[in-house]
Amino acid sequence: MTAADHRIPQAHADNLATPAAYADGRIHDTYRWLRANEPLGIAKIAGIDPFWVATKHADILEISRQNDLFHNGDRSPTLTSQAVDQHVRAMMGGSPHLLRTLIHMDAPDHHKYRALTQAWFMPQNVKTLEDRIRVIARASVDRMAASGGTCDFVNEVALHFPLHVIMTILGVPESDEPRMLKLTQELFGASDPELSREGAPRTVAEATAQNIDFSVIADFSNYFRALSEARRANPTDDLASVIANSLIDGQPISDLEAMSYYIIVATAGHDTTSSSTAGAMWALADRPAEFRKLQADLSLIPGLVDESIRWTTPVKTFMRTVTADTEFAGRSMKQNDWLMLCYASGNRDETVFEAPDEFRVDRKPNKHLAFGYGAHLCLGQHLAKMEMRILWEELIPRLKSVELGGTPAMSEGVFVNGPKRLPIRFEMA
């Protein structure tokens, strides 16, 4: 079989690269069709290099296991247009990466850089933060209770709670948190007309080009360069000091890698948690029976956390590059072929999840893929799950009822997306 035999119909291929399709639900129609008809097909879209598309849970797992065969760093690990790829390579001396975070690295660098901060995010260390996080969560619930029975749960609760947690760990002053939030929304919402600096994209390739906003990255880097210099001069007990004073192979971490490290912690460290938290509230406000299950049995809260992560899957896609000619799942792949992992599709795979389009707080087992798998398993997964658990432990006992108070909305994005508005009406106990 050749790639031509597995070409995805154009309408479905275009959806894969259309940010709005991830906001209005069309992407799930495409995923459903692909899982049933072309689970490992190839997408051809004007202005974008062709790419394979993995939509089945088992294939995504297996690709994630084989880190030598499927690389993160050979090409862009996020879907991008040919024009942007050429622009970045021209800027970066031939490298396809404007940043060089853990998601852009393969062995041996990936392990070396991951080891710099891994201890901070291990369960035993995260556990020591529980009391501090509970104080932050309780304050968030108090503010919600004081809002008078209506609020936009995204913009008044879900965004700010995990933001404050990760900025406290990183060492960013609370007064700078609004700036960090705005930059994160501009970075991850670069293809959303409401969140972007650039306005609404007009074509699929243009939308993909806006997955990267160069000016936002420059603003982040300028901020963290100053923070890094301060922490080199006067180290403290925060994560910024760890990054600023890190050594790789006995040499100080480079400016590019340091800025990239700060940016990934300062963005992914809260944005995905916010999205899953808001996704849970959206589901509960829309499904009174599931909310009543939680009220009756608070031991279901860890299940709520996992189900909200599966249901929302904030990181929708990552790209991999094939390192050698290979046969995989009956497909003939060539060296340097590009490949999209569709986590939100794997998390709705009918062969793995019973009634995958239903939201069930008591779903067991729940083998979702939202944190990735293998060497690139999300570094912050334990912190994220603990934050969400604590927030719900504080909120559910105080929440008598909740319902949608208006029309919610998802952000537009191929790489990362989640709820951007969630008006609710509620009554506190």
Buried b (16+ CB within 10 A) or exposed e, 149-161: eebbbbbbbbbbb
pLDDT recorded at residue 1:
39
Q: What is the pLDDT of residues 280-293, one digit of tens each?
A: 999 999 999 999 99
Q: What is the pLDDT of residues 97-112, one digit of tens each?
A: 999 999 999 999 999 9
Question: How far apart, in whole angstroms, are the C-alpha atoms of residue 373 and residue 77?
Answer: 15
Q: Are 238 and 142 in contact (CB under 8 A)?
A: no
Is pLDDT above 80 for 208?
no
Which region, left, alpha or beta, applies to residue 213 given φ > 0 means left and ψ of -120 to 50 means alpha? beta
Question: How far apart, in whole angstroms, are the C-alpha atoms of residue 23 and residue 33?
Answer: 18
Q: What is the pLDDT of residues 124-134, one digit of tens each?
A: 999 999 999 99
Share of the chain above pLDDT 70, in %: 96
pLDDT recorded at residue 211:
57
pLDDT confidence tier of residue 5, bands split at 50, 70 and 90 = confident
In this prediction, residues 407-414 reach a mean pLDDT of 96
pLDDT recorded at residue 189:
87
Residue 194 CB neighbours (<10 A): 13
* Structural domains of the chain sorted by starting position, each given as residue range(s) with its CATH number in brackets: 3-428 (1.10.630.10)
Is pLDDT above 50 for 73?
yes
Question: How far apart, in whole angstroms, are the C-alpha atoms of residue 175 and residue 181?
Answer: 11
Helices (H), 287-380: 288-296, 301-312, 343-346
pLDDT recorded at residue 209:
58
What rounded mean pLDDT belongs to the chain?
A: 95
- Angle subtended at Cα 320 by Cα 318 and Cα 324, rounded to the nearest 5 degrees: 170
Rg of the Cα trace of the chain?
21
